[in-house]
Structure 1
Amino acid sequence: MCTLTLAWQTFLDAPVVVAANRDERRDRPSEPPGRIESNPGVVAPRDAQAGGTWIGYNDAGVFVGITNRPAEGTTAERSRGLLVADALREPDATAAARLVERSVDTHGYDGFNLVVADRNAAFLFEWDGHLRVTQLDPGVHVVVNSGAALGGGGAVTDSFVVPDGDARADRAAGQAENARAVRTALTPEPGEGATEWLDRAATVLADHEFGVCIHGNGYGTRSSSLIRLGDESTYRFAPGPPCETAYEAVQTDEGQV
């Protein structure tokens, strides 16, 4: 399970703020975040096996992040990480959203939940053979493999897929419970800014009581990202499970980002 928490248009000092854990097989190679493209400039880690990425942003302030999603009958013709890389080349979130829609029509992908956001718009795409698109309201949204706990708009809503009657159902229900707990814990506090919220988010992502920092046999939380996009962009990255790995500022050829 991956966990992607987006605080969108929640803080005056940063319209796009993200705290995310990546869960993956321990033997899947990856490269730490850096400036991977220059036109537009893209900052992201890299999946060294398939060549794409799972999270990142560009110099126009467009954020893109993805989690896996259980799906039957989809055709994995193309890596989902390449879709993220494609979307990060777009000039704004709306253009990136249209690209995702076109790409799903053109290529075969395994199931995914994908978030695209900039200062003006934010979208959640859920693909399991059928594409559902939700335009997000300002607020805190938590996306996991089985769906999303959506906040904002004066209410909270859920979008989860829980199969009936087997181990997958228990796993999906647990993910949904974890996502709701993270959303509640990361409700912004009065007077809180983006940096302070990210500090709290780092603690939540590392706390095993929330079930989003995973240690399994050959699989688990491989890294964690704290991203703040606004007048100033910052990226802190932990190259291991956040319960035992410190976050460090990402450096690029152009300096700290």
Structure 2
Amino acid sequence: MCTLLFAWQVFEDAPVVIAANRDEAIGRPSHPPGLYSENPRVIAPWDEQAGGTWIGYNAFGVTAVITNRWIDDELAAERSRGLLVGEALERESAEDAARFVERSVREVEYDGFNLALIDENAAILLEWDGGLRVRNVDPGVHVVVNVGADGDFEVPASRSAFGERQAENARRAREALQPDPGERSGEWHGRAAEILRDHDYGFCVHADSYGTRSSSLIRVNAEGVEYRFADGPPCETEYEPVDRHVF
């Protein structure tokens, strides 16, 4: 997952609204969202190669989303970051999940990541580049990309030109996604989806062997969780509802 847009505690009708693109090698197999685990019940897509996930939510109302983090240092990458996400989704709150991740990175060296853990009560961003930074984000609109989040970017020298362009696009997206007066979560969600498919922002990636493989729209409200999934680049793939009867 390389782009995450979310609104936390912005809309009265939905405290958590998420839009995210996953970028990955074209030939790497994955499974569309389904029942990822039973206890607790977790709904998520999964990577068929390593077995982990990049986005999902559980029966306790915790949502987790990960992006790669570009860094100059080469980390050991002893374990799949997707497995970390799946294990974080076993926790009963975003706070519990964050404490679990803090323990895990002391024991295993993962490749760089940005991991958002979100529920009704907290939105926590964990940024790992060989050291871990943990921050609670305020209510509002947030944009997470490979070089950082919300204007706090660290562009690696090895990707300086592309990283600076991504940072600028993230700034533009966050500004464009500030809520309009009277806007409701569904309208904002539609605007976020448009940005994910708009090539002017560079979030929908097309290359020979790598690109945007899927896109997710998740909205948590009083009636439960609404999840729509595009099993392909969102510029050419429709979002389809994910069956949530398992809850």
TM-score under structure 1 length normalisation: 0.92
Contact 1:140–1:186 (CA<8 Å) still a contact in 2? yes
Q: Secondary structure at the match of 1:199?
A: helix
Q: Secondary structure at the match of 2:229?
A: strand
* 1:175-203 alpha-carbon deviations (Å, 9 max, x no partner): 10111111111111111111111111111
Contact 2:109–2:130 (CA<8 Å) still a contact in 1? no
Identity %: 60
1:163 positional shift = 2.9
Q: Secondary structure at the match of 2:85?
A: helix
- How many Å separate the matches in 1 of 2:59 and 2:203? 29
- How many Å separate the matches in 2 of 1:113 and 1:126? 5
- The alignment status of 1:133 with 2:134, answered yes or no, reads yes
1:30 positional shift = 0.3
Residue correspondence of structure 1 range 107-122 to structure 2 within 5 A: 107-122=108-123
Q: Secondary structure at the match of 1:210?
A: coil
1:235 positional shift = 0.2
- The alignment status of 1:202 with 2:193, answered yes or no, reads yes
Residue correspondence of structure 1 range 173-212 to structure 2 within 5 A: 173-212=164-203
1:230 positional shift = 2.4
1:224 positional shift = 0.4
- How many Å separate the matches in 2 of 1:195 and 1:59? 22
* 1:213-250 alpha-carbon deviations (Å, 9 max, x no partner): 11111111110000001222100000011111000001
Residue correspondence of structure 1 range 15-34 to structure 2 within 5 A: 15-34=15-34
Q: What is aligned with 1:162?
A: 155
- How many Å separate the matches in 1 of 2:235 and 2:70? 26
- How many Å separate the matches in 2 of 1:31 and 1:146? 27
- How many Å separate the matches in 1 of 2:61 and 2:201? 30
Q: What is aligned with 1:40?
A: 40
Unpaired segments of 5 or more residues in structure 2?
Answer: none
Runs of 4+ in 1 over 2 A off after TM superposition: none
- The alignment status of 1:239 with 2:231, answered yes or no, reads yes
- How many Å separate the matches in 2 of 1:46 and 1:40? 16
- How many Å separate the matches in 1 of 2:94 and 2:221? 14
* Alignment-mate amino acid for residue 96 of structure 2: A
- The alignment status of 1:79 with 2:80, answered yes or no, reads yes
Contact 1:73–1:129 (CA<8 Å) still a contact in 2? no
* Alignment-mate amino acid for residue 10 of structure 2: T
* Alignment-mate amino acid for residue 50 of structure 2: A
Q: Secondary structure at the match of 1:170?
A: helix
Q: Secondary structure at the match of 2:200?
A: helix
- How many Å separate the matches in 2 of 1:67 and 1:206? 17
Unpaired segments of 5 or more residues in structure 1?
Answer: 150-157
Contact 1:26–1:218 (CA<8 Å) still a contact in 2? yes
Contact 2:81–2:111 (CA<8 Å) still a contact in 1? yes
1:73 positional shift = 3.5
* 1:18-37 alpha-carbon deviations (Å, 9 max, x no partner): 00011111011100001221
